[in-house]
Amino acid sequence: MASDPEGVRPEAAWRAEVSTSWSLEAVHADLARAALDPAHWKPALQRLTDSVGAVGTVLLPPAAQRFASISTDAIGEANERYFKEGWNTRDQRDRGLARILQRGVAVDLDFTTEEDIARSDYYNDFLGRHGLRWFAGLVAAAGSDQWVVSIQRSIAQGPFAAWEQERLARLRGPLGTAATLARELDLARTRGLAEAFEILGSAAVVLDWRGDVILANATARNTLVGELRIARRRLTASDQEACRSLSDLVDRVTSSLLTPAPRPPVAVPRAGRRPLIVYAVPILGHVSDIFTQARALLVVLDPDRRPMPPEEALRVAFSLTTAEARLAARLGTGESLDDAADSLRIAKETARCHLKQIFDKTGAHRQSELVALLGRLAGPAPGVRQA
Protein backbone atom coordinates (compact mmCIF):
# COMPACT_ATOMS: atom_id res chain seq x y z
CA MET A 1 0.00 0.00 0.00
CA ALA A 2 1.37 3.41 -0.90
CA SER A 3 2.13 5.64 2.03
CA ASP A 4 0.06 8.76 2.60
CA PRO A 5 1.52 12.14 1.68
CA GLU A 6 3.33 13.70 4.62
CA GLY A 7 0.96 15.44 7.04
CA VAL A 8 -2.18 14.12 5.34
CA ARG A 9 -4.40 11.35 6.72
CA PRO A 10 -7.24 9.81 4.74
CA GLU A 11 -10.67 10.61 6.23
CA ALA A 12 -11.40 6.91 6.78
CA ALA A 13 -8.24 6.51 8.87
CA TRP A 14 -9.00 9.61 10.89
CA ARG A 15 -12.57 8.48 11.60
CA ALA A 16 -11.36 5.01 12.60
CA GLU A 17 -9.00 6.61 15.09
CA VAL A 18 -11.79 8.80 16.48
CA SER A 19 -14.17 5.86 16.80
CA THR A 20 -11.74 4.03 19.06
CA SER A 21 -10.87 7.06 21.20
CA TRP A 22 -14.38 7.96 22.37
CA SER A 23 -14.56 7.84 26.17
CA LEU A 24 -17.90 9.24 27.18
CA GLU A 25 -17.77 7.49 30.55
CA ALA A 26 -14.84 9.73 31.48
CA VAL A 27 -16.83 12.71 30.21
CA HIS A 28 -19.68 11.74 32.55
CA ALA A 29 -17.31 11.80 35.52
CA ASP A 30 -15.95 15.20 34.49
CA LEU A 31 -19.45 16.65 34.18
CA ALA A 32 -20.32 15.49 37.69
CA ARG A 33 -17.22 17.20 39.03
CA ALA A 34 -17.95 20.39 37.06
CA ALA A 35 -21.43 20.60 38.61
CA LEU A 36 -19.80 20.90 42.04
CA ASP A 37 -16.86 23.07 40.94
CA PRO A 38 -17.47 25.65 38.17
CA ALA A 39 -13.71 25.88 37.55
CA HIS A 40 -13.78 22.28 36.23
CA TRP A 41 -16.09 23.02 33.28
CA LYS A 42 -13.17 23.87 31.01
CA PRO A 43 -11.34 20.55 31.68
CA ALA A 44 -14.63 18.71 31.18
CA LEU A 45 -15.17 20.41 27.82
CA GLN A 46 -11.60 19.60 26.82
CA ARG A 47 -12.17 15.93 27.64
CA LEU A 48 -15.28 15.96 25.46
CA THR A 49 -13.36 17.68 22.63
CA ASP A 50 -10.55 15.13 22.74
CA SER A 51 -12.98 12.21 22.97
CA VAL A 52 -14.84 13.07 19.77
CA GLY A 53 -11.93 14.32 17.69
CA ALA A 54 -12.92 17.98 17.47
CA VAL A 55 -11.04 21.28 17.56
CA GLY A 56 -12.77 22.75 20.60
CA THR A 57 -15.98 23.04 22.60
CA VAL A 58 -17.89 25.96 24.05
CA LEU A 59 -20.62 26.03 26.70
CA LEU A 60 -23.14 28.80 26.00
CA PRO A 61 -25.80 30.03 28.46
CA PRO A 62 -29.42 30.61 27.34
CA ALA A 63 -29.53 32.92 24.33
CA ALA A 64 -31.13 35.86 26.13
CA GLN A 65 -28.42 36.02 28.82
CA ARG A 66 -25.30 35.45 26.72
CA PHE A 67 -22.88 37.79 28.41
CA ALA A 68 -20.11 35.16 28.55
CA SER A 69 -19.37 31.48 27.99
CA ILE A 70 -16.78 28.81 28.72
CA SER A 71 -14.58 27.50 25.92
CA THR A 72 -11.57 25.29 25.49
CA ASP A 73 -8.31 27.12 24.78
CA ALA A 74 -8.07 26.16 21.10
CA ILE A 75 -11.14 28.21 20.22
CA GLY A 76 -10.64 30.90 22.84
CA GLU A 77 -9.96 33.63 20.27
CA ALA A 78 -13.08 32.71 18.29
CA ASN A 79 -15.12 32.70 21.51
CA GLU A 80 -13.83 36.18 22.38
CA ARG A 81 -14.82 37.49 18.94
CA TYR A 82 -18.24 35.85 19.33
CA PHE A 83 -19.15 38.34 22.06
CA LYS A 84 -16.95 41.30 21.15
CA GLU A 85 -18.30 41.54 17.59
CA GLY A 86 -21.91 40.72 18.47
CA TRP A 87 -22.13 37.28 16.84
CA ASN A 88 -23.89 36.09 20.01
CA THR A 89 -26.92 38.16 18.96
CA ARG A 90 -26.99 36.67 15.43
CA ASP A 91 -25.91 33.09 15.94
CA GLN A 92 -27.45 31.14 13.05
CA ARG A 93 -27.10 27.93 15.00
CA ASP A 94 -29.78 29.06 17.43
CA ARG A 95 -32.18 27.84 14.74
CA GLY A 96 -31.15 24.31 15.67
CA LEU A 97 -32.23 24.58 19.30
CA ALA A 98 -35.65 23.05 18.67
CA ARG A 99 -33.96 20.12 16.93
CA ILE A 100 -31.60 19.68 19.89
CA LEU A 101 -34.47 19.63 22.36
CA GLN A 102 -36.31 17.07 20.24
CA ARG A 103 -33.45 14.69 19.43
CA GLY A 104 -30.83 15.57 22.03
CA VAL A 105 -28.36 16.66 19.35
CA ALA A 106 -28.29 18.77 16.19
CA VAL A 107 -25.74 19.47 13.45
CA ASP A 108 -25.49 22.26 10.87
CA LEU A 109 -27.17 20.41 8.04
CA ASP A 110 -30.25 19.85 10.21
CA PHE A 111 -31.26 23.50 9.77
CA THR A 112 -29.22 24.85 6.85
CA THR A 113 -27.68 23.75 3.54
CA GLU A 114 -24.14 23.80 2.21
CA GLU A 115 -25.26 26.45 -0.31
CA ASP A 116 -26.50 28.68 2.51
CA ILE A 117 -23.29 28.07 4.44
CA ALA A 118 -21.25 29.24 1.44
CA ARG A 119 -23.15 32.56 1.45
CA SER A 120 -23.32 33.02 5.24
CA ASP A 121 -21.42 35.78 7.05
CA TYR A 122 -21.64 33.73 10.25
CA TYR A 123 -19.96 30.69 8.72
CA ASN A 124 -17.41 32.57 6.64
CA ASP A 125 -16.58 35.88 8.29
CA PHE A 126 -16.76 34.45 11.79
CA LEU A 127 -16.15 30.69 11.82
CA GLY A 128 -14.11 30.56 8.62
CA ARG A 129 -11.51 32.99 9.91
CA HIS A 130 -10.61 30.40 12.57
CA GLY A 131 -10.72 27.37 10.27
CA LEU A 132 -13.99 26.21 11.83
CA ARG A 133 -17.10 25.02 10.03
CA TRP A 134 -19.01 22.05 11.48
CA PHE A 135 -20.59 21.61 14.88
CA ALA A 136 -22.67 19.25 16.98
CA GLY A 137 -24.95 20.95 19.49
CA LEU A 138 -26.10 19.37 22.75
CA VAL A 139 -28.33 20.82 25.44
CA ALA A 140 -27.89 21.04 29.20
CA ALA A 141 -31.34 21.85 30.59
CA ALA A 142 -32.24 23.04 34.10
CA GLY A 143 -35.90 23.90 34.44
CA SER A 144 -36.97 26.15 31.58
CA ASP A 145 -33.41 27.29 30.79
CA GLN A 146 -31.16 25.55 28.28
CA TRP A 147 -27.39 25.83 27.98
CA VAL A 148 -25.89 24.73 24.67
CA VAL A 149 -22.73 22.66 24.37
CA SER A 150 -21.32 23.45 20.91
CA ILE A 151 -18.60 21.05 19.72
CA GLN A 152 -16.56 22.60 16.89
CA ARG A 153 -14.85 20.82 14.01
CA SER A 154 -12.68 22.27 11.29
CA ILE A 155 -13.52 22.50 7.61
CA ALA A 156 -11.19 19.57 6.90
CA GLN A 157 -12.58 17.33 9.63
CA GLY A 158 -16.07 17.44 8.15
CA PRO A 159 -19.51 17.14 9.79
CA PHE A 160 -20.47 14.69 12.51
CA ALA A 161 -21.69 11.37 11.13
CA ALA A 162 -25.02 9.84 12.13
CA TRP A 163 -23.42 7.29 14.45
CA GLU A 164 -21.48 10.06 16.18
CA GLN A 165 -24.66 12.04 16.71
CA GLU A 166 -26.32 9.00 18.28
CA ARG A 167 -23.47 8.66 20.76
CA LEU A 168 -23.47 12.34 21.61
CA ALA A 169 -27.22 12.28 22.26
CA ARG A 170 -26.52 9.98 25.22
CA LEU A 171 -24.89 12.92 26.98
CA ARG A 172 -28.22 14.72 27.23
CA GLY A 173 -29.06 13.20 30.62
CA PRO A 174 -25.65 13.76 32.27
CA LEU A 175 -25.52 17.32 30.94
CA GLY A 176 -28.98 18.10 32.30
CA THR A 177 -28.10 16.62 35.68
CA ALA A 178 -24.90 18.67 35.86
CA ALA A 179 -26.73 21.87 34.89
CA THR A 180 -29.50 21.31 37.44
CA LEU A 181 -27.07 20.57 40.25
CA ALA A 182 -24.92 23.60 39.37
CA ARG A 183 -28.00 25.81 39.37
CA GLU A 184 -29.28 24.48 42.72
CA LEU A 185 -25.89 24.88 44.42
CA ASP A 186 -25.67 28.45 43.17
CA LEU A 187 -29.17 29.14 44.47
CA ALA A 188 -28.14 27.85 47.89
CA ARG A 189 -25.14 30.22 47.91
CA THR A 190 -27.40 33.10 46.92
CA ARG A 191 -29.87 32.25 49.68
CA GLY A 192 -27.00 32.38 52.15
CA LEU A 193 -26.15 35.88 50.94
CA ALA A 194 -29.71 37.10 51.51
CA GLU A 195 -29.79 35.50 54.96
CA ALA A 196 -26.55 37.26 55.91
CA PHE A 197 -28.40 40.56 55.50
CA GLU A 198 -31.28 39.11 57.50
CA ILE A 199 -28.92 38.63 60.45
CA LEU A 200 -27.99 42.31 60.13
CA GLY A 201 -31.67 43.24 60.13
CA SER A 202 -31.63 44.51 56.54
CA ALA A 203 -34.13 43.82 53.78
CA ALA A 204 -32.37 42.16 50.84
CA VAL A 205 -33.77 41.19 47.44
CA VAL A 206 -31.84 39.14 44.87
CA LEU A 207 -32.47 39.75 41.16
CA ASP A 208 -31.72 37.56 38.15
CA TRP A 209 -30.37 38.77 34.79
CA ARG A 210 -33.91 39.79 33.74
CA GLY A 211 -34.32 41.98 36.81
CA ASP A 212 -36.87 39.55 38.26
CA VAL A 213 -36.87 38.83 41.99
CA ILE A 214 -35.64 35.32 42.71
CA LEU A 215 -35.14 35.62 46.48
CA ALA A 216 -36.25 37.96 49.25
CA ASN A 217 -35.29 37.52 52.88
CA ALA A 218 -37.86 37.67 55.68
CA THR A 219 -37.17 41.32 56.47
CA ALA A 220 -37.75 42.21 52.82
CA ARG A 221 -41.02 40.30 52.74
CA ASN A 222 -42.20 42.23 55.80
CA THR A 223 -40.96 45.59 54.49
CA LEU A 224 -42.12 45.44 50.87
CA VAL A 225 -45.87 45.56 51.41
CA GLY A 226 -46.98 49.13 50.74
CA GLU A 227 -45.52 51.91 48.64
CA LEU A 228 -42.63 49.61 47.66
CA ARG A 229 -43.61 46.04 46.89
CA ILE A 230 -42.92 42.96 44.77
CA ALA A 231 -45.50 42.48 42.02
CA ARG A 232 -45.19 39.80 39.34
CA ARG A 233 -41.61 39.16 40.42
CA ARG A 234 -40.64 42.82 39.88
CA LEU A 235 -39.87 45.44 42.51
CA THR A 236 -42.25 48.33 41.94
CA ALA A 237 -43.15 51.61 43.66
CA SER A 238 -46.48 53.43 43.89
CA ASP A 239 -44.80 56.77 43.22
CA GLN A 240 -44.34 57.00 39.44
CA GLU A 241 -41.05 58.92 39.52
CA ALA A 242 -39.59 56.51 42.08
CA CYS A 243 -40.85 53.58 39.98
CA ARG A 244 -39.02 54.90 36.90
CA SER A 245 -35.83 55.51 38.86
CA LEU A 246 -36.04 52.05 40.38
CA SER A 247 -36.53 50.45 36.95
CA ASP A 248 -33.50 52.33 35.60
CA LEU A 249 -31.40 51.25 38.59
CA VAL A 250 -32.37 47.60 38.10
CA ASP A 251 -31.69 47.70 34.34
CA ARG A 252 -28.24 49.18 34.80
CA VAL A 253 -27.14 46.78 37.51
CA THR A 254 -28.37 43.60 35.76
CA SER A 255 -27.73 44.25 32.06
CA SER A 256 -23.95 43.96 31.87
CA LEU A 257 -21.31 41.46 32.93
CA LEU A 258 -18.92 44.33 33.61
CA THR A 259 -19.10 46.16 36.92
CA PRO A 260 -21.44 49.10 36.35
CA ALA A 261 -20.57 52.58 37.54
CA PRO A 262 -21.86 53.26 41.07
CA ARG A 263 -25.42 54.52 41.01
CA PRO A 264 -27.08 56.72 43.64
CA PRO A 265 -29.77 55.03 45.72
CA VAL A 266 -33.46 55.48 44.97
CA ALA A 267 -35.72 57.07 47.56
CA VAL A 268 -39.28 55.70 47.66
CA PRO A 269 -41.73 58.12 49.33
CA ARG A 270 -44.13 56.84 51.99
CA ALA A 271 -47.17 58.53 53.48
CA GLY A 272 -46.51 59.79 57.01
CA ARG A 273 -43.06 58.16 57.20
CA ARG A 274 -39.57 58.76 55.94
CA PRO A 275 -38.82 57.28 52.50
CA LEU A 276 -37.34 53.84 51.97
CA ILE A 277 -33.83 53.90 50.50
CA VAL A 278 -32.92 51.30 47.86
CA TYR A 279 -29.29 50.48 47.10
CA ALA A 280 -28.19 48.20 44.22
CA VAL A 281 -25.11 46.00 44.36
CA PRO A 282 -24.00 43.86 41.37
CA ILE A 283 -23.23 40.20 42.05
CA LEU A 284 -20.32 39.37 39.79
CA GLY A 285 -18.90 35.92 40.33
CA HIS A 286 -16.25 34.12 38.30
CA VAL A 287 -16.94 34.28 34.57
CA SER A 288 -16.91 30.49 34.38
CA ASP A 289 -19.86 30.27 36.76
CA ILE A 290 -22.42 30.85 34.01
CA PHE A 291 -25.05 28.82 35.83
CA THR A 292 -25.60 31.54 38.40
CA GLN A 293 -29.04 33.15 38.42
CA ALA A 294 -28.15 36.03 40.72
CA ARG A 295 -27.10 39.23 38.96
CA ALA A 296 -27.75 41.91 41.58
CA LEU A 297 -28.65 42.48 45.21
CA LEU A 298 -31.02 45.25 46.27
CA VAL A 299 -30.72 46.38 49.88
CA VAL A 300 -33.70 48.32 51.24
CA LEU A 301 -33.14 50.53 54.28
CA ASP A 302 -36.05 51.75 56.39
CA PRO A 303 -34.97 54.84 58.40
CA ASP A 304 -37.97 54.38 60.70
CA ARG A 305 -37.23 50.80 61.59
CA ARG A 306 -35.09 49.71 64.50
CA PRO A 307 -32.88 46.71 63.62
CA MET A 308 -34.00 43.38 65.05
CA PRO A 309 -31.40 41.81 67.36
CA PRO A 310 -30.23 38.38 66.12
CA GLU A 311 -32.08 35.52 67.81
CA GLU A 312 -28.90 33.48 68.20
CA ALA A 313 -27.23 36.31 70.08
CA LEU A 314 -30.22 36.56 72.42
CA ARG A 315 -30.17 32.83 73.13
CA VAL A 316 -26.46 32.88 73.96
CA ALA A 317 -26.44 36.14 75.94
CA PHE A 318 -29.48 35.47 78.13
CA SER A 319 -30.03 31.68 77.94
CA LEU A 320 -33.39 32.21 76.23
CA THR A 321 -35.27 29.36 74.61
CA THR A 322 -35.86 29.52 70.86
CA ALA A 323 -39.45 30.69 71.36
CA GLU A 324 -38.40 33.32 73.90
CA ALA A 325 -35.61 34.60 71.62
CA ARG A 326 -38.03 34.96 68.69
CA LEU A 327 -40.41 37.02 70.79
CA ALA A 328 -37.61 39.08 72.35
CA ALA A 329 -36.18 39.89 68.90
CA ARG A 330 -39.50 41.39 67.83
CA LEU A 331 -40.02 43.26 71.07
CA GLY A 332 -36.53 44.70 70.66
CA THR A 333 -37.69 46.56 67.54
CA GLY A 334 -40.39 48.36 69.57
CA GLU A 335 -43.17 46.05 68.36
CA SER A 336 -46.03 45.65 70.85
CA LEU A 337 -46.56 42.34 72.63
CA ASP A 338 -49.91 41.77 70.91
CA ASP A 339 -48.50 42.52 67.44
CA ALA A 340 -45.50 40.28 68.08
CA ALA A 341 -47.80 37.45 69.15
CA ASP A 342 -49.84 37.86 65.97
CA SER A 343 -46.68 37.87 63.81
CA LEU A 344 -45.41 34.71 65.49
CA ARG A 345 -48.88 33.12 65.44
CA ILE A 346 -48.90 32.34 69.14
CA ALA A 347 -51.60 32.95 71.74
CA LYS A 348 -51.35 36.22 73.63
CA GLU A 349 -51.32 34.33 76.94
CA THR A 350 -48.36 32.29 75.67
CA ALA A 351 -46.61 35.53 74.68
CA ARG A 352 -47.16 36.94 78.18
CA CYS A 353 -45.66 33.79 79.74
CA HIS A 354 -42.63 34.07 77.45
CA LEU A 355 -42.28 37.77 78.33
CA LYS A 356 -42.21 36.96 82.06
CA GLN A 357 -39.35 34.48 81.43
CA ILE A 358 -37.56 37.07 79.28
CA PHE A 359 -37.82 39.66 82.09
CA ASP A 360 -36.46 37.14 84.62
CA LYS A 361 -33.51 36.16 82.41
CA THR A 362 -32.55 39.63 81.20
CA GLY A 363 -33.16 41.53 84.44
CA ALA A 364 -35.53 43.98 82.76
CA HIS A 365 -38.68 45.03 84.61
CA ARG A 366 -40.61 46.84 81.92
CA GLN A 367 -40.89 46.47 78.16
CA SER A 368 -39.26 49.87 77.61
CA GLU A 369 -36.19 48.65 79.54
CA LEU A 370 -36.14 45.49 77.44
CA VAL A 371 -36.30 47.50 74.21
CA ALA A 372 -33.38 49.67 75.34
CA LEU A 373 -31.34 46.63 76.36
CA LEU A 374 -31.96 44.64 73.20
CA GLY A 375 -31.50 47.73 71.04
CA ARG A 376 -27.88 47.88 72.18
CA LEU A 377 -27.37 44.34 70.84
CA ALA A 378 -28.85 45.24 67.46
CA GLY A 379 -27.00 48.55 67.13
CA PRO A 380 -28.46 52.02 66.63
CA ALA A 381 -31.59 52.55 64.60
CA PRO A 382 -30.97 53.58 60.97
CA GLY A 383 -30.25 57.29 60.69
CA VAL A 384 -29.39 57.62 64.42
CA ARG A 385 -25.88 58.87 65.09
CA GLN A 386 -24.19 57.69 68.25
CA ALA A 387 -22.53 60.28 70.43
Instruction: Mark which of 257, 277, 301 sits at the end of a domain.
Output: 301
Percent above pLDDT 70 for the chain: 85
Q: Which domain holds residue 73?
A: 11-182
Of the ranges 12-21, 68-77, 314-323, 355-364, which one carries the lowest mean pLDDT score? Answer: 12-21
Please determine, for residue 213, whether its predicted confidence score (pLDDT) is greater than 60. yes
Structural domain ending residue among the three candidates 279, 301, 323:
301
Claim to verify: residue 327 and residue 287 sit in the same structural domain: no
- State mean pLDDT over 280-303: 78
Give Cβ neighbours of residue 67 (< 8 Å, ≥ 6 apart): 61, 83, 209, 256, 257
Query: What is the structure's pLDDT at 263?
Result: 75
Q: Are residues 212 and 173 in the same domain?
A: no
> Does residue 143 share a domain with residue 240?
no
Please give the model's pTM, rounded to 2 decimal places.
0.66
Domain membership flag for residue 387: no
Whether residue 168 is found in the same domain as residue 230: no
User: Do 317 and 296 have their domain in common?
Assistant: no
Domain count, the chain: 3
pLDDT band at 197 (very low <50, low <70, confident <90, very high): confident
CATH of the domain at 225: 3.30.450.20
- The pLDDT value given to residue 22: 64
The per-residue pLDDT for 260 is 57
pLDDT at 37: 87
Q: Are residues 295 and 317 in the same domain?
A: no
* Residues 190, 206: Cα–Cα separation, whole Å: 8
User: Residue 348 pLDDT > 80, yes or no?
Assistant: yes
pLDDT at 186: 84
Q: Evaluate whether residue 251 is within a structural domain.
A: yes
Judgement on whether residues 45 and 158 belong to the same structural domain of the protein: yes
Q: How confident is the model at residue 259 (pLDDT cuts 50, 70, 90)?
A: low
In the prediction, which pLDDT does 13 show? 47
- Report the distance separating Cα 176 and Cα 149, nearest Å: 11
